[in-house]
Amino acid sequence: MSQRARHTALIKALAAELGFAACGIARARRLDEEASRLEAWLQQGYHGSMAYMANHFDKRLDPCELVPGARSVISLLYNYYPQQEINPGKPYKLARYAYGKDYHKVIKKKLNHLFTRLKEEAGDINGRYFVDSAPVMERQWARLAGLGWLGKNGLLLSKQKGSYFFLAELIVDLELDYDQPLPDHCGTCTRCLDACPTAAIVKPGVVDGSRCISYFTIELKANEHPPADLPPDGWIFGCDVCQEVCPWNRFATPHQEPAFQPKKALTEMTAEDWQQLTQEQFTELFSGTAVMRTGFAGLKRNIARVNQHLEGEAGNKNSSNSR
């Protein structure tokens, strides 16, 4: 076995040992074919107030800007599909990825272990690892590494695993054996486009981030408010609609990561509990989770928006019954 093959086998074995659902490797190069698409997306203003999306344009396209002399981009998937749903039958919904501890911290520890073991085997190599924390086009690299294809909702899809997984990357200046991209398997299906509550998927593979419910419930500052015509959807942090309707997610299986399990108190929240949520309760429920990103004031704003829709629906129902 060649040294390249041995290093490649070690990386994939370690990834499986650390609980990653899949690992693929692509040759590091500038993604010239993505430049025009990224530029057009930014020019359309689809990033909304997320100004950071327009920063570091060249770094997004070229991994050598992040790791000088980069040879390989190792992409990894980490499953977060919950063993236990906390949303059914309740008016307030959280995106499934936010049920447990902040994925950045959980996965970065695993990546550090992977990189440390790789350096022990391969010697003096240079590299960096990322979990949604740097200007890396993670979905494109995962596609090039043969982990799936880009669906019409813009997410990476896998025939075996669906789309409920986090993406992570390890960029190294080490030559490895490379995987091949997979063909698109969405076919004529348009379920995600048809189901998006805000029509944020403007065309297959292109998402207007500034119209996504995740944008309105997470990215907006606490003193900013979503459009008045935003549909009554119940989402108070993130949105899973385009994943819920995707046929490939029938193959999603529950994760085995204890850190992603929701706190018992969160699973027992009633509608009244959400409406009366205090700062102290918010901190107790969500400290160390992704929900802290929107903050207490932001979450209360989102809950209030859902309440307005519920009250409006109740008023309309009473009006109809009185006729």
Q: Do 230 and 294 fall into the same domain?
A: yes
Model confidence at 89, pLDDT cuts 50, 70, 90, reads low
Which of these three, 125, 145, 172, is where a domain ends? 172
Section 121-125 average pLDDT? 91
Q: Of 10-14, 50-54, 148-152, 153-157, where does mean pLDDT reach its minimum?
A: 50-54
Model confidence at 312, pLDDT cuts 50, 70, 90, reads low
Range of the domain at 201: 191-253+262-315
Q: What pLDDT, on a 0 to 100 scale, did the predictor assign at position 210? A: 92
Q: What pLDDT, on a 0 to 100 scale, did the predictor assign at position 315? A: 52
Section 226-231 average pLDDT? 77
* Domain presence at residue 160: yes
Q: Do 36 and 125 fall into the same domain?
A: yes
Q: Do 207 and 160 fall into the same domain?
A: no
Q: What pLDDT, on a 0 to 100 scale, did the predictor assign at position 313? A: 58
pLDDT tens digits, one per residue of 250-282: 999 999 999 999 999 999 999 999 999 999 999
Q: What pLDDT, on a 0 to 100 scale, did the predictor assign at position 225? A: 80
Total structural domains in the chain? 2
* Domain presence at residue 200: yes
Which of these three, 112, 144, 172, is where a domain ends? 172
* Domain presence at residue 216: yes
Model confidence at 90, pLDDT cuts 50, 70, 90, reads confident
Q: Do 160 and 195 fall into the same domain?
A: no
Q: Tell me: pLDDT of 321 over 60.
A: no
**132 catalytic residue (yes or no):** yes
* Domain presence at residue 197: yes
Section 60-75 average pLDDT? 96
Model confidence at 88, pLDDT cuts 50, 70, 90, reads low
Q: Do 38 and 79 fall into the same domain?
A: yes
Q: Do 70 and 43 fall into the same domain?
A: yes
* Domain presence at residue 54: yes
Q: Do 14 and 162 fall into the same domain?
A: yes
* Domain presence at residue 17: yes
> Choosing from 32, 58, 132, 179, which is the catalytic residue?
132
* Domain presence at residue 180: no
Q: Of 37-41, 78-82, 162-166, 257-261, where does mean pLDDT reach its minimum?
A: 37-41
Q: Do 270 and 304 fall into the same domain?
A: yes
Q: Tell me: pLDDT of 323 over 80.
A: no
* Domain presence at residue 185: no
Q: What pLDDT, on a 0 to 100 scale, did the predictor assign at position 55? A: 79
Q: What pLDDT, on a 0 to 100 scale, did the predictor assign at position 224? A: 82
pLDDT tens digits, one per residue of 17-31: 999 999 999 999 999
Q: What pLDDT, on a 0 to 100 scale, did the predictor assign at position 289? A: 96
Q: Do 65 and 161 fall into the same domain?
A: yes
Q: Do 41 and 160 fall into the same domain?
A: yes
Which of these three, 116, 141, 172, is where a domain ends? 172
Q: Do 145 and 10 fall into the same domain?
A: yes
Q: How far is CA 11 from CA 80, 86, 105, in A?
A: 21, 35, 20
Q: Do 100 and 228 fall into the same domain?
A: no
Do residues 50 and 76 touch, judged by C-beta distance below 8 A? no
